[in-house]
Amino acid sequence: MNQSRNARVGLWLCALYILLYGGFVLIGAFRPDWMERTPWLGVNLAIWYGFGLIVAAIVLAVAYGVACRHEVVPTKPSGSAADGQESPQ
């Protein structure tokens, strides 16, 4: 159960990154003039976006690690040894 939850979290984070990267590719393919703009410190948008993708990948990796760090403890069914009763073997 925990593995399927972790897989879903990973897939959602991967989908988010694919959207971010897809934006980079689409801008580069269809609006390359946007990539030539220098919004801050004389550095063009392509460089800022590229560094943003690197930072986003690190942030999403940390988010995945945090989201999947806690292990879900399954509840014990009634009649288990934890209730003081012997379980049939």
pLDDT tens, 53-74?
999 999 999 999 998 887 656 6
- The pTM for the full model equals 0.70
Beta strand ranges found along 1-89 (DSSP E)? none
Bigger pLDDT: 22 or 76?
22
Bigger pLDDT: 57 or 82?
57
Q: Where are the domains of the chain?
A: 2-67
User: 45: exposed, middle or buried (C-beta count within 10 Å: 0-12, 13-18, 19+)?
Assistant: buried
What pLDDT is recorded for position 34? 93
What pLDDT is recorded for position 87? 55
Structure tokens at 87: 């379980």
